[in-house]
A = this chain, B = another copy of it.
Amino acid sequence: MRPKIYLFGDSITEESFGDGGWGASLANHFARTADVVLRGYSGYNTRWALKVIDKVFPAEESGGDAPLAVTVFFGANDACLPDRSAAFQHVPLDEYKKNLNSIVSFLKRRWPTTLIVLITPPPIDEDGRILCPFVEDNSGLPERTNESAGSYAKACLAVASDSQVFAVDIWTKMQQFPGWHKACLRDGLHPTPDGNKIVFEEVLEKLKEKGLSSENLPSDLPLLAEIDPNDPLKAFEN
């Protein structure tokens, strides 16, 4: 069977197979080489992720079935401010680092050879959050700020560096895009197609650094270009 690539994270992962989504783009890239498996849980922070990680990655998937890679994309909810409408999702910065470390340790223990890619939370367009109908708050203040998201992004990079796994700094990358507030984020938090493209390209670049791309991985069954038009069935003899 084909190897797997797991996408583990919050709503930005759960929604990643929507139009122009970064998860769908990865699945498309690996269409003949790997199964991209969606494990996104809307609203989850690292505290909740740790409560369920054993069910997300059950033990029978261990050993020979080690996935090629796992992306870990949490922090957007941890970074919710503790005194605003989404306080119940907030996780203090120190605990976020500890939790992220525990997630990495869990994955390393289960699959020592699997590539782990941490993804920082995205930047926040605070105006976009205030206008978002799903954010219930009478204060008129956003439940997330870009500054807070930035602290969690920095912590995520520190965890990756300390535990020697790859990281994608989406918080910084997106802010390099002209007009990123509206161009990259559709509601101040979740990526637009342009924002999704950045996530896809950055993640794929990290995977490629370890040789994980459709060009390098063996294809599942003969490709059309490998089938001789004069004797097509020959390709299927083995």
**A48 — which chain B residues lie within 8 A by C-beta?**
227, 232-233, 236
Given contacts A221-B55, A232-B88, A236-B52, contact A28 B17 (CB under 8 A): yes
Does A198 sit within 8 A of B, measured CB to CB? no
| Residues of A that sit less than 8 Å from B by CB | 1, 14-15, 17-21, 23-25, 27-28, 31-32, 35, 37-38, 40-44, 47-48, 51-52, 55-56, 58, 88-89, 221, 223-224, 227, 229-230, 232-233, 236
Residues of B within 8 A of A23 (CB): 27
Does A227 contact B15, Cβ atoms closer than 8 Å?
no
Within the oligomer, what is the number of copies of this chain? 2
* Cβ contacts A to B, 9 pairs, < 8 Å: A1-B58, A15-B31, A17-B25, A17-B31, A32-B42, A41-B221, A48-B232, A51-B233, A51-B236
**Chain B residues, CB < 8 A from A230:** 88
Bound Cα distance from A40 to B230, whole angstroms: 23
* Alpha-carbon separation in the docked complex, A25 to B23 (Å): 12
Considering the chains assembled together, what is the distance between the CA atoms of A232 and B15 in angstroms? Answer: 22
A17: chain B residues at CB < 8 Å are: 17, 24-25, 27-28, 31
- Cα-based distance from A44 to B233 in the complex (angstroms): 11
Collect the chain B residues with CB atoms within 8 Å of residue A25's CB: 17
Are the C-beta atoms of A221 and B31 separated by less than 8 Å?
no
